[in-house]
Every structure is written in structure tokens, then in C-alpha cells.
Structure 1
């Protein structure tokens, strides 16, 4: 077994993925990382009882390169005896319609397509080819965007049904593996486009940091992400305990107007603000509204300082009412923006 394959097998075994007979959708762009991933998982398929399906997502971009990429994915799958799927999506239309960046739109459509394939094949996981260099870039990207501590822990090797078996391997290690095995791959020219922030980080910022500041910056960032991930795991456990203790019942009615969630104000106020913020972040996501940081801070402040009878107006018609004993979340007029207060709403009734 090649050392790279052994490293991936060691991780899969530690994650209890080694002998469970899983079906895995592999996102394969025909680039070096995903092609290496296909070959590595194929090398482990018999030992780990894996069924593998290679999926190429055609974003409708780079028309000169797409035919070669599609052909390589199909040829690779055929040579290895794997199923292969080609899925076409329209990234430019998605970006224009929803006012997203092209990179963001392509990513959303790609993962949506992979999840559809996961459902189609009743697969257990989706595997993608992110490597250690991608992780370093992701940490810097999120840092520049002012992301939270949780976001700075970056990508995890197993997260929400997504496998990243190569996350601890460098790009160069994978390129060496492909060269040693004489495995062909394609080059995506969009990776050279400096209009994308990630590419500027890869080609400009990281080399500058290595040359002018710290040649070990990549290892340092990986260590930071790993430490933060461990901290996040602990804090998530604490938040789960808080969630269980404060008892956050939600109406089971399918009508948004009937959705009401109450949190014991006195119980929550006993906890550190950091745990309170995480609790309210989870609540906002659970009731279908964006968990914006400024909203989370406002709710946390309301717990300690809010006057009984006051209220917060948040996204999509969400109202947060402050009472002496509890904080109440509700959509008085459903999930749609509206002006006015809960007091007026009650007086109408």
C-alpha cells in the first residue's frame, strides 16, 4: 500500500469508516486533488468495502476545458470499474439571478448536485478532494472576512456527511503520488484567475507571508485551525447541555404564524455570554432565520438588560419579545418582513 493510501486508510479507520460497507459519492473535477482522491479510495475499496461513484459537475464555464475534463473522469471511472455521472448546472445564471459571486454560485450548485446524486444512489457520504493547502487558504479567507471563532476552525474531515480524506495531505504530496503512479489529470485555468479572492490568497498573499514573514506560516495556520476545532468541539458540547437545560419547546404546527419558542431568561443569564451567543445562534438557525452576529448580540443584551415588555425586530418578520421571566421568539405574521410591534398586534386581536 502506498504511504498516501495508508495515511488515508488510517484516518478512515480512526473515523470508523474502514469496514462499514459505505457507498460514497466522489466529487471529481478531473483536477489533481479529486483524481488522486478517486484513485486512493479505489485502492482502499476492497479493504474498506466501499462502493464508489465519481461525479463530475459541469458548471457551464470554461467551454474549452470541459470536454477534456468530462472525458478524463469517464475514462478514469471506466478503467477502475466505477460508476460515473455527469451533472450539468448553470453557474452564471445562478449568480445573476441570486446576485451571488460566480465562485459562490458554482459552489452552491456543485454541492446541490452532489447531494442529489447522494440521494439517487442512497449513498452514505460525499467525498471531496480538499487538501491541507486548501485548509490554509480557507483559514486566511475566513480571517479576512472577519469570521467567527467557529468558522476559523475551518473545514473538518468529517462534517455533515461530507468526507475530506485528503485534508491532512499537502498539495505537493498528492502531486508526487500522481506522478509516481503515472496518473493523468487536468488543470483548471480558473485557478489562475486572480479576480477570485481565494486565488489571490494562494498566489499572492501566502507566498508573501512565507517569504517576508514566516516560512512556516502554513503549519502555523493548520495548527491554529486544529486547536480551534478542538475548542469548538468542547464548546458545542457545553451548548448542547445548555440547550437541554433551558428547555426550548417549539410549536409543532406547520403554520409559521403559530411558531412560538420561549427561553427561560433567568436560566440563560447564569451562563457565560459566549455560551449564550452560541445558544441564540442555534435557536435562530433552528427557526429559519439568518443568525447574524448583530442580532445575536442584541438578544444576549436583552437577556441581561432588556426591559420587560420590550421587543426586538429581526429578519423575516421575527419578533423577540422580552418578559420578566423569559424571552419569546415568534413570527406574528409569518415569515415576511413587516412594520409594527407585538403590542399593536395583540391590541388588534
Structure 2
């Protein structure tokens, strides 16, 4: 029997478009084309479907300013590609390394923010109805596994949505091997991105090492991960609908932030509580999300009762409880010495984090292993793969202990301070960096033995304590 990749792929993509209502007749679609096989195949597929779907196309390409001549080569390739398809071309150049430094972001976060800013400008300038992105079922499986590794909940494990706002993913149900057959059948040319083989990036390690290893236990592991994302996505959509309805009765928008009735919030099941809180945070911090630890902190806060208390949220925001109301917004309320001791600050990695009340900042950078740490009492060198993210910073608490570098057993931090003759008045001002429930660095004094850099270390996390003027 003759197998026709063209007919198979066009039928599959059309079903995805119809199933998720990705576009409608008359839409102008910007196609994000990097020059790689996925985006080139996406462009060719939509070009083959444009008459049937009654859509118009425009090619979008961003040179991130990361890979030098290779990026310039990709840019020229995509320009030529748009000419061959007789399609309008919209291109731009960005300095992602500079943006990363200015905003204390990881390379991936910086590239993503710059890329979506470019897409948003293209939508506005060229009256685009949608931007099509070439993410595949393989990307979906990799994303679900990556989020699981990082401790994501059901919201994260639902994976990449087929449509989010103006952004659509027509290939999200197509496997990469199917696209490769399609590209060969169509005689498509494309460029290779050298960074796709750089195992410094987690996604590449998941793709090249972890998934093949898991496939030895279950050859259908990728299909199961995609199915998990679909099931959780359906459940999440239902719960989001319920959360939207109940939020209307217990949430009000005020000058200081989003105010929530605590008795009404406590009356909800945990799943709806979490979604109401996520929606509130997203309103004050667009694009932001609360992790499990933040949700737990808020729940503990509102169950305690009493007067005014607060807990820290990402990006400098707080949740403040005042009797029967919870306010999610910027800034914090006055706190007692006890509360100040209990406060935790999540570290930005890579980047700088200010530690309120301690007069210092922690700067985090990541480097490849193999470099000898410099003797600097204000810096710590940790094995990045041995720490549990996110790292947090807090002050000394009674009962704290760790395994000082060079030792094998736990030592109470109080005894450690006594041995070093640290005055009691100074102990509460020493930042403690925590990895999960363990202390990994007593800033300026000692790291934990379990996090030390070894000959087998592949990535080194350097933490530097900087005193603010």
C-alpha cells in the first residue's frame, strides 16, 4: 500500500485546527519560522492548506543575536524561503544576551520574552489574527517531563496548549518523525541549529538522554506523556471554569491589589482555592504564577486567624491577611521580628536577588564544571544538579542544622556559630540559602558537604553575597 505523507499530514493538521478552533476563514496568520525542520514544515503545510482554509500567510523571523554567523545564516535562509513561497516577510533583530543581563533572566527566559514581544508587535503592526508556532507532539512530551522533573503541578503537567490567545500550534498532535517523512517527501530544505545538541540545556538532555532511557521501560512513553497532558488539560479547563464563576463572588479589585474574602475562600475545595489564588496573582502580575510552596504559604496564613500578617510571593509581591480579608498585591505590611525571621526570599537563577532586612544581595550565575573555585569567603560554588530548585534565602531558625563542608554528620547551626564565635546578635543577619528543606550555604561561612563541586560536576552554581551600600 502506497503511503502518502502529504495527504496524511495535511489531514492530521486539518483535524487539529478543527478540533481546537485554531483559526477561521479570512484570518491572516503570521507563521513563526526559525529555519529548522519543524517551522519550515509548518510553513509548507499551511501554504498547502491556505486555499482550503481561506487564510493568508506572513512569515515571521527573529534573529536573537545569540549564535553569530549561524543566526545570520538562518535569517538569510528564511528571507529566501518567504520569497520562494511568495509571502510577505517580517523580520527583526534583538540582543537577547543584553536583555538577559538587564532583566536578570535565564537565557531561555530572555529569548522567550523577546520572541513573544516580537510576535506581539507583529500582530499589532500587521493586523495578524494568529501567530502559528511549530511545536510538535514531541515538544509536548518533553515539556510535560521537564515540568514533572521541576516539580510542576497539574497546571504545569497539562503541557503546551494548542491555542493560547493569538498563538496557535497546528503541529501539536504531529510527531517529529512524521514531519521528517513529510519534509523528505516534499523535498524541503532547512537549517540545523547547533544549540539543539548542546546538553547544557535541560530540554536537550531530556530529548537526547532521558526519553530514550525511559523508552527502554516503555516504548510508548512519549505517547503516554502526551495523553497525560490532554487529560489534565481537560480537567484543568473544567476547574478553571468553576474558579471563574466562584471568583466573581469572593474577589474584588482595589487600589492595593486583589482582595479575597477568607471565609469564602476557605469554604472552597483545595483545587478551587488554588485556582482562585492563581487568578488573583495573574491579575496583579501578568504572566506570573504561584508555585506549590506559595499556595501552601497562603493557606497556612489564612488558617491562622488573628490580625495582620503576610507572606512573600514571586517577583516582590505579597499576600497580606488582615482579619477576614486577603490582599494579593505589591509590597508588604509591617511585620514582627518573629515574622521577619520566618520570611523566605526565592533566589533568581541566574540573576540578582535583594534580601529585605539583611542589607545584601545574592548574585547567582551558572557555569560549566571543570573550573576551580576561587577562594572568596563571600562566594559559594555548588553542584547545580545536587540542589533542589527553587533555592530560597532566610534567616537562622532554632533547630537549624547542616553538614558543614568537610564533615560527614549533621551539625546544629547554633553549635556551628558558637564554634566560630559568632555573636548571638549577628546570627539572625547571616543569610541561609536553602535547597528544599536543607541548608546548602551559610552565606559567607560554609557550604553543605552534599552540594560541593566534585570531579563529576557538569554545572556549577556560583552564589555571591554582595553588600548593598
TM-score by length of 1: 0.87
Counterpart Cα distance in 2 of 1:337 and 1:268: 21
Report the secondary structure of 2:253's partner residue: coil
Report 1:228-239 matches (<5 A).
228-239=232-243
What is the CA distance between 1:89 and its match in structure 2? 0.8
Counterpart Cα distance in 2 of 1:259 and 1:298: 20
Cα deviation per residue 1:161-200 (whole Å; 9 max; x = unaligned)? 2100001001011111111011111111110111111101
Report the secondary structure of 2:113's partner residue: helix
- 2:309 alignment partner in structure 1: 311
Report 1:241-252 matches (<5 A).
241-246=245-250, 248-251=251-254
Question: Which of the residues 263, 266, 278 maps onto 1:269?
Answer: 266
Contact 1:320 1:330 in 2 (8 A): yes
| Cα distance change, pair 118–193 in 1 and its aligned pair in 2 (3 A) | same
Counterpart Cα distance in 1 of 2:23 and 2:289: 37
Q: Aligned pair count? A: 327
What is the CA distance between 1:202 and its match in structure 2? 0.7
Determine whether 1:8 maps to 2:13.
yes
| Cα distance change, pair 302–62 in 1 and its aligned pair in 2 (3 A) | closer
What is the CA distance between 1:72 and its match in structure 2? 2.0
- 2:175 alignment partner in structure 1: 170
Counterpart Cα distance in 1 of 2:23 and 2:131: 15
What is the CA distance between 1:264 and its match in structure 2? 2.6
| Cα distance change, pair 103–284 in 1 and its aligned pair in 2 (3 A) | closer
| Cα distance change, pair 228–319 in 1 and its aligned pair in 2 (3 A) | closer
Contact 1:273 1:300 in 2 (8 A): no
Contact 2:310 2:332 in 1 (8 A): no
Contact 1:306 1:322 in 2 (8 A): no
- 1:287 alignment partner in structure 2: 284
| Cα distance change, pair 39–330 in 1 and its aligned pair in 2 (3 A) | closer
Counterpart Cα distance in 2 of 1:168 and 1:330: 38
Cα deviation per residue 1:61-92 (whole Å; 9 max; x = unaligned)? 22232233222211221121211122101111
Cα deviation per residue 1:235-259 (whole Å; 9 max; x = unaligned)? 111211221232x1213xxxxxx32
Report the secondary structure of 1:7's partner residue: helix
What is the CA distance between 1:330 and its match in structure 2? 6.3
What is the CA distance between 1:317 and its match in structure 2? 5.9
Determine whether 1:205 maps to 2:203.
no
Counterpart Cα distance in 1 of 2:177 and 2:184: 10
What is the CA distance between 1:226 and its match in structure 2? 1.1
| Cα distance change, pair 9–314 in 1 and its aligned pair in 2 (3 A) | same
- 1:226 alignment partner in structure 2: 230
Contact 2:157 2:232 in 1 (8 A): yes
What is the CA distance between 1:28 and its match in structure 2? 0.5
- 2:322 alignment partner in structure 1: 322
Contact 1:59 1:88 in 2 (8 A): yes
Counterpart Cα distance in 2 of 1:228 and 1:319: 28
Contact 2:131 2:166 in 1 (8 A): yes
Counterpart Cα distance in 2 of 1:51 and 1:83: 10
Contact 2:30 2:132 in 1 (8 A): yes
Counterpart Cα distance in 1 of 2:143 and 2:256: 37
| Cα distance change, pair 206–290 in 1 and its aligned pair in 2 (3 A) | closer
Report the secondary structure of 2:80's partner residue: helix
Runs of 4+ in 1 over 4 A off after TM superposition: 336-341
Cα deviation per residue 1:119-148 (whole Å; 9 max; x = unaligned)? 111211111100011111111111111112
Structure whose alpha-carbon radius of gyration is higher? 2
- 1:214 alignment partner in structure 2: 218
TM-score by length of 2: 0.66
Tell which deviates more after alignment, 44-53 or 143-152: 44-53
Higher strand share: 2
